[in-house]
Amino acid sequence: MRFPRPLRVVAVIACQHVALLQAQVAETVGGRSEVFAGGELETYLRDLQLIGAVPLYPWSLRSFSPRELDRLFPVDSASHPWRLRYDLHPGPHDRLAFDVVRPTASTRLNSTFAYGSNDGPIWAGRGLTAALQIGIAARYHSLSLTIAPLAFAAQNASFNLLANGDTGKLVYGDGVYAGSIDRPQRFGARPYTVLDPGQSTLRLDVGAVGLGVSTANQYWGPTTAFPAILGNNAAGFPHAFLGTAHPLNLWLLRVHGRLVWGRLEQSAFSSETTSAGIRFMAGLVGVLTPRGLPGLELGFSRFIHMPWPQGGLSSSELLLPLGSRNRQNQLGTSNDNQLASAFARWVFPLSGVEIYGEYGREDYNANLRDFIDEPDHIGGYLASVGMRKAFRPAAGRLVVIGAEVINEQRNRTAPEIGRGPVYIHDSPLRQGHTERGQILGSDVGIDGTGATVSLDSYHPGGRWSIRWTRILRGDRGNFPATGQVDPRARDVQHAWSFERLFFRGHYDILAGLAAVYEFNRNFRSDAFNVNAIVVVRADVTGYLRSLRRETPAMEANR
């Protein structure tokens, strides 16, 4: 029986597409322009550094420029599991070159309550949340451009909130500190949609100097899950930057740093009205790598919030990170809020190990004596430590075990003098350390703690990962003051998650499932949530190339 020609053409096309989905393509699919702070490929390069496949380089100041990535791509193309999948080689810079940020579609599902962190602009409420990102990149000599916007829509179905005593739209605010931080429990009663500029950057690197404008996420410090000051839990905010294009060799040490000035916004559920909720931020982050101690990096960061100046920005605001505001604070004339951190990371490639830690705090001390006596007396503080260990069980495989903990709970003296926890502030900066309703640093709750243990296994076909995370979201217990035991005093969340990334033809497919059990949710009863995620990233240029190759075969079958 001979089928009609249209049916034969459809059958040929279907068979060819099935073959593409069932077998890996021999040619690479993107990668070079998709190394974003906190993202899949950035984490992969960091893990390769543990086994010496990526040169030693400070990892506490991200995102990386295209020129930095030229230094960081694997030195031996045969030394890593994904060498046949991604184009992780220096790109041409002596001529105008274009690249595609592959289209990425994702769907998240939460069965009972909002759950998710470290996913940039996306906020995943109860129900379905769908997101789409697409972009392009260009490079010419010292100039580079990436445009990668992201849009998402959250179903934002109803779930139980912790009552905060407010009315109107403010009922969606934080359950305990609604007047001191812009951190909604739920973004209103309707579907929540956002169009964000995403990981977009225009950058110029001239000699040792790098400058530009960006809306991309930044990661300050060496942590992977719980950054003290700045990570990818919230959207990247519009900012300009000026700093070193690469670490400067001063013989005794190498110095790498960046000044940042940005614009921060609040959500529609903030109680602050000063400057229409717009804030100015000024920050400084620096990393030192001492001579003779390979793999060691030491650093510091400083992040300043203030209401957007009524008359516009002046040189005094631009120079804020380089000066002291302690006197203005003591006189009561300061209208800013400051956070700072110190951090360290040490990589031992021969052992496949890295260790790191960070100490951060908020606001000023009264004077030098107060700083020496009680370093965390006036504001909150947080401390985190972590380690990662890499193994190579077989050729083409890499296994990495990681662990990280953070403590953001106040010390005993802070409540006695009426000071709130870290990331919290009062008028005129009642948004706290947030951008559009999400914390810029670590999202472990206010006055909380966090711990995570992970196992990642990379292989030529993709990756699988297992992770356990514990978050203390809130603690209202006060036995010394009340003399009573509160059985619902601690809101604690445990999550077991499994992820599988697999490569199929022109597609990278990530599927994840997490079981989240929360003890005493909102200081009430226990709750259980199922979190599922599916992410599909498509190699458009490779797909078009394959279609061109298929055309002669299709014509021959007609």
Asked if pLDDT for residue 19 goes beyond 50, the answer is: no
Who contacts 198 (Cβ-Cβ below 8 Å, separation ≥6)? 120, 121, 133, 135, 148, 149, 150, 215, 216, 236
User: What is the pLDDT at residue 6?
Assistant: 40
404 and 352 share a domain? yes
Question: Are 178 and 229 in the same domain?
Answer: yes
* CATH code where residue 495 lies: 2.40.160.130
For residues 58 and 94, membership in a common domain is answered with: yes
Q: Is there a single domain that holds both residue 124 and residue 180?
A: yes
For residue 55, what pLDDT is reported? 94
Is the pLDDT confidence value at 416 over 90?
no
Whose tokens are 């470290």? That residue is 118
Residues spanned by the domain of 300: 26-538
What is the chain's length? 558
pLDDT at 91: 78
Per-residue pLDDT band for 552 (boundaries 50, 70, 90) equals low
Same domain, 64 and 54: yes
* DSSP class of 138: E
Burial (CB count <10 Å: 0-12, 13-18, 19+), residue 526 = exposed
For 106-115, 178-187, 353-362, 416-425, which range has the lowest pLDDT when averaged over its residues?
416-425
- Asked if 212 contacts 202 with a C-beta cutoff of 8 angstroms, the reply is yes
Q: 393 falls in which pLDDT band (50, 70, 90)?
A: confident
pLDDT tens per residue across span 430-453: 999 999 999 999 999 788 999 999
Say whether both 7 and 151 belong to one domain: no
CA distance 344 to 183: 29
Number of domains in the chain: 2
The reply to whether 376 and 323 lie within a common domain is yes
Check residue 311 and give its pLDDT.
Answer: 84
**What string of DSSP letters covers 460-480?**
TTEEEEEEEEEEEEEE---HH
Alpha carbons 283 and 259: distance in angstroms, whole number:
6
* Mean pLDDT value across residues 198-204: 98
Kindly tell me if the per-residue pLDDT of 106 is higher than 90.
yes
Instruction: Give the residue-averaged pLDDT of 382-386.
Output: 87
Q: Are residues 547 and 486 in the same domain?
A: no
More confident call, 377 vs 6: 377
Same domain for 229 and 331, yes or no, is yes
Segment 412-421 shows an average pLDDT of 61
Q: What is the mean pLDDT of the chain?
A: 88
**pLDDT at site 333:** 67
Inter-axis angle of helices 540-556 and 5-22, to 10 degrees?
140
Residue 501 and residue 549 in one domain = no
Tell me the average pLDDT across 256-264: 98
Binned at pLDDT 50, 70 and 90, residue 411 comes out as: low
Q: What are φ and ψ of residue 438, in 5° steps?
A: -125, 145
Residue 36 pLDDT greater than 50, yes or no = yes
Looking at the structure, do residues 119 and 144 belong to the same domain, yes or no? yes
Mention every residue, 6+ apart, whose C-beta is less than 8 A from residue 314: none
Q: Using an 8 Å Cβ cutoff, are 221 and 359 in contact?
A: no
And the tokens for 411? 């010390």
Same domain assignment for residues 204 and 280: yes
Residue 231: the pLDDT is 96
H helix and E strand count, the chain? 9, 25
Q: What is the pLDDT of residues 456-497, one digit of tens each?
A: 999 999 999 999 999 999 888 776 777 788 889 899 999 999
Q: Is 539 helix (H, G, I), strand (E, B) or coil?
A: coil
pLDDT band at 546 (very low <50, low <70, confident <90, very high): low
